[in-house]
Amino acid sequence: MKKVLVIFTALLCMLFTGMLGNTSYAAKKIIALPGIHSNMGYDGDRAAKDFESQLIGVLISSGQYDVVERDRLDEVLSEMGLSATGLISEDNAIQFGELSGADYTLTGSLLDARIVPFDNIIYSGKKAVAKFDIRLVDNRTGKIIFAEIVEGSKTVAKELGGLDGTASISEAVNDAAKEVIKLLNEKNPLTGNVAHVTDSQVYLDLGSDNGVRVGEKFIVYREGQPIMNPVTHELMAVEENNVGMVKIMEVKSNYSICTYSNGKGQIKVGDKAKRGHK
């Protein structure tokens, strides 16, 4: 009986992965951003608020993420008895996710934000630095996905003029926000399907609505056998067999046209494609 159950479970998983093969994985993830904490006075508070604002901007402009509205966040934080920078932990992340509708919670604190003068043999000038300690929590499991320090900077040589404090820190903050997006995309790569193939081009069912940009590269792979947990018999993953790489040359709202970087003759309709490196 147990053997039959295992076989039945495996067949269901294979059917499920087959059904997924006909759909795009481009659904946007929802992120809650309760706030960025700072203990560095007025200037630090401004940098923290700027970082939060720029994070929201780069998240939305990426086309891959939606952000929970501030009013809704405030309601949830109030209901849970948390502060405005609501320290979401492994203990309360699942409840927070259920109430807010967010897949992930992104929290952080300001570590450094300042302008540093420098003078070396080659040239002199000023460098704006912004550094943040950030953490991403999976609201479905309560587990921390990553905890990293991200840093941005803006350097201007003396002969190009001085740095405006507010503007330069903001540019450094923007650099740091872009580093967060890179970390998110590593954990949650944009994935779609090969919709059409010619001798010279590959069409993907991902476009500008998904944040795809000209010049990006996508790894094309073919799904193989489901990988089952030998103890629980649950589906853990599906084999990914790389068959090539394509480069985005033209982007429409809901699809993109690519050229082959490699894999010509191997890539087929129905293969998967996930964002690689620019």
For 50-67, the pLDDT digits (tens) are 999 999 999 988 888 999
Measured in whole angstroms, the distance separating CA 162 from the mean position of its chain's CA atoms is 34
- Tell me what the mean pLDDT of segment 248-273 comes to: 94
My answer on whether 179 and 206 are in the same domain is: no
For 70-124, the pLDDT digits (tens) are 888 888 888 888 765 556 777 788 888 899 999 999 999 999 998 888 777 777 7
Task: Look up residue 230 and give its DSSP letter.
Answer: T
Tokens representing 242?
């790389």
Query: Tell me, what's the pLDDT at 84?
Result: 55
Residue 122, SS3 per DSSP: coil
For 122-164, the pLDDT digits (tens) are 777 788 899 999 999 999 888 999 999 999 998 876 654 555 5
- Final residue before a domain boundary, out of 187, 210, 229: 187
Query: Tell me, what's the pLDDT at 155?
Result: 80
**pTM listed for this prediction:** 0.71
Which is nearest to 94 in space by CA: 138, 145, 139? Answer: 139
Tokens representing 27?
């659904």
Residue 263's domain comprises 190-275
Number of domains in the chain: 2
Query: Tell me, what's the pLDDT at 159?
Result: 53
Q: Quote the mean pLDDT of the chain.
A: 83
- Tell me what the mean pLDDT of segment 168-180 comes to: 92
My answer on whether 118 and 168 are in the same domain is: yes
My answer on whether 202 and 241 are in the same domain is: yes
My answer on whether 117 and 54 are in the same domain is: yes
In CATH, what number is assigned to the domain containing residue 228? 2.40.10.410
Is there a domain that residue 7 lies in?
Answer: no
In CATH, what number is assigned to the domain containing residue 122? 3.40.50.10610
Pairing assessment for the beta strands 36-37 and 104-119 based on DSSP bridges = parallel
